[in-house]
Chains A and B, each alone.
Chain A
Amino acid sequence: MKRVALIGVFIGAVLTCSTAQAASFNGIGIAPGTAVTGRDPAGFHYRLAPFEERSDTLKLINDTNETKTLELTVTEAIIMSNNSLVCSDKALNTANIILNASLVTVASNSTQLIPLSIKALANGDEFNACLTAQESKQLSGVGVPLKSRLAMRLSIIGPGKPIVKTELSHLSAIARNRQIDVTMSIENKTGTSTVIVGDASLRNWFSNETKPLPRKVLLPKATIDQTLQYFQRPIIGGWYELQVRTISSPALRTAQQSGSEVTALYERTLFIWPHPLVLIALSFLIITFVVGLAFKKSRRSRTD
Chain B
Amino acid sequence: MKKSIMTGLALIFGVVSLVIPTAHAESTNVGLYQYMEDPIAKIFFTNSQGQLIDNPQIQFPMKTTRYQCQRPTADDPGPDLGNQYQKLHISVPDRVVNGWNVSIAPTNGTEAGWVGESGNTFAINDPTDGGCGRSSDRSGFGGLLTIDTSEMTASGECSTGCTSSADSPIKGNTHNFYQLQDISLYRSDMPHVGWDGTLDSVRLKQTIPAAVPADSYSLPMTLTLTEL
The B32-54 residues at the A interface (CB cut-off 8 A) are: 32-36, 38-45
Known contacts: A153-B226, A215-B190. The answer to whether A144 contacts B40 by CB under 8 A is: no
Known contacts: A141-B57, A142-B216. The answer to whether A109 contacts B170 by CB under 8 A is: no
Known contacts: A82-B184, A147-B222, A215-B190. The answer to whether A8 contacts B38 by CB under 8 A is: no
Q: Which of A17-25, A94-102, A285-293 contacts B (4 or more CB under 8 A)?
A: A17-25
User: Bound state CA distance, A218 and B21, in angstroms?
Assistant: 41
Which chain A residues lie closer than 8 Å to B7 at the CB level? 1-2, 5
User: Bound state CA distance, A25 and B179, in angstroms?
Assistant: 38
| Interchain CB contact under 8 A, B189 and A217 | yes
Known contacts: A31-B38, A145-B220. The answer to whether A80 contacts B182 by CB under 8 A is: yes
Instruction: Indicate the size class of the contact surface on chain A.
Output: 35 or more
| Interchain CB contact under 8 A, A153 and B98 | yes
A45 touches B (CB below 8 Å): yes
Known contacts: A31-B40, A88-B105. The answer to whether A43 contacts B97 by CB under 8 A is: yes
In the assembled complex, the CB of B52 is this many whole angstroms from the nearest CB of chain A, namely 9
In the assembled complex, the CB of B177 is this many whole angstroms from the nearest CB of chain A, namely 12
- Mask, A1-30, CB within 8 Å of B = 1, is 110111111111101101101110101011
A245 touches B (CB below 8 Å): no
The chain A residue with its CB closest to the CB of B188 is A215
The B1-29 residues at the A interface (CB cut-off 8 A) are: 7, 10-11, 13-18, 20-22, 24-25, 28-29
* Among B29, B36, B191, B227: residue with most chain A CB under 10 A: B227
In the assembled complex, the CB of B97 is this many whole angstroms from the nearest CB of chain A, namely 4
B55 touches A (CB below 8 Å): yes
| Interchain CB contact under 8 A, A151 and B107 | no
Which chain A residues lie closer than 8 Å to B180 at the CB level? 80-81
The chain B residue with its CB closest to the CB of A16 is B21
| Interchain CB contact under 8 A, A146 and B223 | yes
B167 touches A (CB below 8 Å): yes
Instruction: Indicate the size class of the contact surface on chain B.
Output: 35 or more
Which residue of the partner chain, among A12, A59, A195, A216, contacts B38 with CB atoms under 8 Å?
A59
Judged by DSSP, the binding face of A is mixed
User: Bound state CA distance, A77 and B106, in angstroms?
Assistant: 16
The chain A residue with its CB closest to the CB of B215 is A142
Judged by DSSP, the binding face of B is mixed
| Interchain CB contact under 8 A, A111 and B10 | no
User: Bound state CA distance, A162 and B8, in angstroms?
Assistant: 55
User: Bound state CA distance, A119 and B225, in angstroms?
Assistant: 25
User: Bound state CA distance, A11 and B34, in angstroms?
Assistant: 17
B214 touches A (CB below 8 Å): no
User: Bound state CA distance, A142 and B58, in angstroms?
Assistant: 9
In the assembled complex, the CB of B143 is this many whole angstroms from the nearest CB of chain A, namely 14
Known contacts: A22-B35, A80-B180, A143-B60. The answer to whether A11 contacts B218 by CB under 8 A is: no
- Mask, A88-121, CB within 8 Å of B = 1, is 1100000000000000000001110000000000
Known contacts: A22-B33, A84-B101, A109-B31. The answer to whether A27 contacts B184 by CB under 8 A is: no
The chain B residue with its CB closest to the CB of A64 is B52
Which chain A residues lie closer than 8 Å to B56 at the CB level? 145-146
| Interchain CB contact under 8 A, A87 and B224 | yes
A85 touches B (CB below 8 Å): yes
A200 touches B (CB below 8 Å): no
| Interchain CB contact under 8 A, B218 and A143 | yes
A163 touches B (CB below 8 Å): no
Which chain A residues lie closer than 8 Å to B227 at the CB level? 43, 151-153
User: Bound state CA distance, A227 and B34, in angstroms?
Assistant: 40
User: Bound state CA distance, A12 and B190, in angstroms?
Assistant: 33
Which residue of the partner chain, among A45, A87, A145, contacts B57 with CB atoms under 8 Å?
A145
Chosen A-B contacts, 7 in total, with CB atoms closer than 8 Å, are A2-B7, A6-B10, A11-B18, A29-B40, A109-B30, A141-B55, A142-B217
Question: What are the 7 closest A-B residue pairs judged by CB atoms, nearest first?
Answer: A8-B14, A12-B17, A29-B40, A5-B10, A84-B184, A139-B220, A144-B58
Beyond A143-B59, A145-B221, A151-B224, 4 additional pairs, beta carbon < 8 A: A22-B35, A84-B184, A148-B44, A148-B223
